[in-house]
Structure 1
Amino acid sequence: MDFQLSDSQRALQDMARKFAREVMRPKAAHHDETSEFPRAIIASAWENGLLNMNLPESCGGLGLSHLDQLLAYEELAWGCSGMATSITANDLANLPIVVGASEEQKKRLLTPFTQEFKLAAFCLTEPEAGSDVANMGTTAVRDGDHYVLNGSKCFITNGGHADQYTVFATVDKAKKHKGITCFVVEGRPKGLTAGKHENKMGQRASDTVALTFEDVRVPVANRIGEEGEGFRIAMETLDNSRPITAIMSVGIARAALEYSLEYSAQRKTFGKPIREHQAIQFMLADMAMNTHAARLLCHQSAWLLDEGQKNTLLSSYAKCFAADMAMKVATDAVQVYGGYGYIKEYPVEKLMRDAKLIQIYEGTSQVQRLVIAKELFK
């Protein structure tokens, strides 16, 4: 085991930290207040090599390791987790292609993302099939050299701005998860409609919409894997993406801790800074301890992937622990700030709202516990 970062990893981390500090944070409050999509900032992330970090070198990508990606994404989430969610959405949408497509498909569908700024969306969740993916209602019917997609998806990040959609649909509802198949929809073809932007509690900078598919034609050449392989591809995708989602929790928690340390040094009660009161010290100590523990879980789950090992259990440990931890740390940060923590002029109430979503998306904390139990029973 070696916990030292290489020079190149430190350089990547520093670059992402500078981008988060100088580009994301100054605009974070504005985009949180207005829910305006930060397209210019995400485009700047692309220009700086901080978008599509999971693309292989064979497609013109950077070929970064999973651990390398985590180093950058912690910093971006520290800057603004809403913006970071829209940035990581490209990775999530392209992961099924990375893990399940042929080499021809990878080069055709992924290379354009390295040549120009493009956004992608991952389309799995449905109104009646969130955690229960096998209950999927979106259908794909073969028609010659095409499939015809019909159905709806919800809570789709980047859905209103995407240039490409990775869509999961069933070729046979009776087969449940064995009928799920993965497709790539390029552009905004006839029949694909995006709904209104959802007015969310937190992570308001990220675009979240519902999508409707009405007789959307997709070439057979854009089917990823064989019919019925979509569920496996989706689960492998989520194993790969969980460490990234989890590390975003660490970025939020680290920000909450840093703000709390700063404020507790300035705010005085009973004649001394509140950080000199043992009650506050215990809170700060727990915040720091749990943030660091979550980071180590995230790094180990990413390291397993880099070593070619299965990480389902560790990635669920990381996602569940880190998400719950971030919610607790952000809530404690509001408590450290007292009444000021409840006012939008101060930064920690945003962190508390942002943290809540990570307990919900890409597998709720309860679903992660189900995955953990299932893995333990093996």
Structure 2
Amino acid sequence: MSSPDPQTHHPIEAELRPPERLEETLARVERLYRDVVVPREQALSHRLSNERAFLDDAGKLHPEIIEARREIMRAAGEQGIYSLHLPERLGGGGLDREDMIYVEEKVYGYGVKLNPAMLSWSEGATPRLLYCHDHQQEQFVAPLVRGEKTSLHGVTEDGAGSNLFDMKTRATRRGKDWVLSGAKAYITNAFDADIAQVLAITDPGQGRRSFTYFMFDTREYLNKGYRIGRVFQTMFGDGYTGEIFFDDMVLPESAVIGEPGQGFDIAVMSFNYTRMRRAGMCSGWSRYLIERALDRVKHRQVGNRPLGANQGIQWMIADMYVDWLQARSLSLEVARSIDTPGPWYRLPRPKDEVRRICALKVSNDESFYRVADRALQVFGGAGVMRDTDINKLFQIARNLRIPGGTDEVQRTTIAETLGLRFDPSKSAPADDRLKGS
């Protein structure tokens, strides 16, 4: 299935209404897609539309696709698009969350082939760079912001997911150095990352102050205490997820991001960013699916009339639109409320903002999943074929309800910040715990 023609206008496109201040930025995004992304998608169509050719013999993302993604990242960096979300002092574009929603939904609205590489995501210039020191700028920060290098985020472990306090990876001091020991699982970009950003426990039993982030060059430390393990094949077969190990790996003090004991707060800020990023991502992909579904039901003939003439199909399309509109409207409102005091990356965040960010993630994750489910239903047999964008987006939609904190964790946080946080030994809400968390 081909990516949508950027010149094709669908009914809901008129509802996007990005502000005039973004006109030039969005025009640059469109040129980048047309001039850089589309030619590479066309050249690699035999791999992008065939999941067997999408991976190499070891089940990892094929090197040709990796290189195409890197070319797009570098081009996006050169054109000032890749890191629009970061402040200008780091070389970013300085856009706030509301403006980034408009940019993200345009990028993701092109589909699910190579276009996501136009914007930094978990393997690129993440907000953790805000806490890097001056000596880390040239080697790590600048290349990530420019899209010249990629990174991995080592937090999740086989026995530690949403609850960071279950983490087993430790870093202990040895003179002026740190010795890192443990393993991380389900890590995106595990095999190709140039840079690793890893969270470890450095001072057990100290609550939020127990954690520290470390950053290092993966090529420099490969087989010198740092090992890459097996492929973890996800439900959509990305060949991009794996495990990494730290075998008494010795790191200098200069590898610390921020300060020792600051890791928990940096992680929370990172997770908040991941959740806020759902807004433009899910809006763009939902719109893509609605547009594909509209094209399908207008042109697919069943019993000598368009499939879309059936009321049951019309209702499914209408429900897809309602889900998209509700989630997008909530996202823009939450973004504006966060941008008003600004900036979106400040810490600590008021509990009412945390609650709204959690609501944004739940709303987008579940609305996008319903849109993808109905799109697949509309496409029928063609929708369940594994090598189609419809099928892949359905699988991605299901996956998104887990990373960044499961939707159930988001609901728990929402309830707790509304006063429903209980001490197990009591029957009343633990107000003191709520205030101090």
TM-score by length of 1: 0.88
- Relative distance call for 1:335 and 1:357 in structure 2 (3 A) is same
Q: Larger Cα Rg: Structure 1 or Structure 2?
A: 2
Say whether 1:96 aligns with 2:154. no
Greater CA deviation, 167-176 or 107-116?
107-116
- Return the match for 2:268 from 222, 231, 235: 235
- Relative distance call for 1:372 and 1:155 in structure 2 (3 A) is same
- In structure 1, give the amino acid aligned to 2:26: Q
Greater CA deviation, 233-242 or 161-170?
233-242
Deviation at 1:318, TM superposition (A): 1.3
- Return the match for 1:54 from 85, 90, 94: 85
User: Per the alignment, in what secondary structure is the counterpart of residue 403 of structure 2?
Assistant: coil
- Return the match for 1:117 from 145, 148, 155: 148
**RMSD of equivalent CA atoms:** 2.7
- Return the match for 1:312 from 350, 354, 371: 354
User: Per the alignment, in what secondary structure is the counterpart of residue 292 of structure 2?
Assistant: helix
- Relative distance call for 1:103 and 1:6 in structure 2 (3 A) is farther
CA contact (8 A) 1:94 1:120 kept: no
CA contact (8 A) 1:182 1:224 kept: yes
Say whether 1:374 aligns with 2:416. yes
- In structure 2, give the amino acid aligned to 1:366: E
Equivalent positions of 1:8-27 (< 5 A) are 8-17=21-30, 19-20=32-33, 22=38, 26=42, 27=44
For residues 372 and 298 of structure 1, what CA distance do their matches in structure 2 show? 16
- Residue equivalent to 1:174: 205
- In structure 1, give the amino acid aligned to 2:270: T
TM-score by length of 2: 0.77
User: Per the alignment, in what secondary structure is the counterpart of residue 231 of structure 2?
Assistant: coil
Deviation at 1:240, TM superposition (A): 2.2
- Residue equivalent to 1:222: 255
- In structure 1, give the amino acid aligned to 2:156: T
Deviation at 1:104, TM superposition (A): 5.5
Deviation at 1:266, TM superposition (A): 0.8
For residues 257 and 116 of structure 1, what CA distance do their matches in structure 2 show? 31
Cα shift readout 1:115-134 (whole Å, capped 9, x = no counterpart): 56100111111111111211
CA contact (8 A) 2:211 2:261 kept: yes
Cα shift readout 1:212-253 (whole Å, capped 9, x = no counterpart): 111222221232233322111111221122111343222222
For residues 182 and 109 of structure 1, what CA distance do their matches in structure 2 show? 14
- Return the match for 1:252 from 281, 285, 294: 285
- Residue equivalent to 2:103: 72
Query: In percent, how many aligned pairs have the same letter?
Result: 27
For residues 263 and 334 of structure 1, what CA distance do their matches in structure 2 show? 11
Matched positions, count: 373
- Relative distance call for 1:20 and 1:361 in structure 2 (3 A) is farther
User: Per the alignment, in what secondary structure is the counterpart of residue 178 of structure 2?
Assistant: strand
For residues 284 and 244 of structure 2, what CA distance do their matches in structure 1 show? 30
- Return the match for 1:44 from 72, 83, 91: 72
For residues 164 and 61 of structure 1, what CA distance do their matches in structure 2 show? 19
Say whether 1:157 aligns with 2:191. no
CA contact (8 A) 2:290 2:317 kept: yes
Say whether 1:269 aligns with 2:302. yes
- In structure 2, give the amino acid aligned to 1:48: A
Say whether 1:7 aligns with 2:23. no
Equivalent positions of 1:135-214 (< 5 A) are 135-175=166-206, 177-188=208-219, 189=221, 190-202=224-236, 204-205=237-238, 207-214=240-247
Greater CA deviation, 295-304 or 159-168?
295-304
For residues 76 and 195 of structure 1, what CA distance do their matches in structure 2 show? 32
For residues 257 and 243 of structure 2, what CA distance do their matches in structure 1 show? 23
Deviation at 1:43, TM superposition (A): 2.5
Cα shift readout 1:8-32 (whole Å, capped 9, x = no counterpart): 4233334435555725765577346
Say whether 1:30 aligns with 2:30. no
- Residue equivalent to 2:5: none
Deviation at 1:268, TM superposition (A): 2.1
- Relative distance call for 1:227 and 1:238 in structure 2 (3 A) is same
- Relative distance call for 1:126 and 1:80 in structure 2 (3 A) is farther
- In structure 1, give the amino acid aligned to 2:354: T
For residues 296 and 106 of structure 1, what CA distance do their matches in structure 2 show? 37
For residues 211 and 96 of structure 1, what CA distance do their matches in structure 2 show? 20
- Relative distance call for 1:277 and 1:317 in structure 2 (3 A) is same
Greater CA deviation, 119-128 or 63-72?
63-72
Greater CA deviation, 32-41 or 181-190?
32-41
CA contact (8 A) 1:256 1:329 kept: yes
For residues 160 and 304 of structure 1, what CA distance do their matches in structure 2 show? 38
For residues 261 and 111 of structure 1, what CA distance do their matches in structure 2 show? 43
- Relative distance call for 1:332 and 1:348 in structure 2 (3 A) is same
Higher helix share: 1
- Relative distance call for 1:134 and 1:184 in structure 2 (3 A) is same
Deviation at 1:373, TM superposition (A): 1.4
Greater CA deviation, 136-145 or 11-20?
11-20
- In structure 1, give the amino acid aligned to 2:126: N
For residues 247 and 370 of structure 1, what CA distance do their matches in structure 2 show? 24
For residues 387 and 306 of structure 2, what CA distance do their matches in structure 1 show? 21
Greater CA deviation, 171-180 or 334-343?
171-180
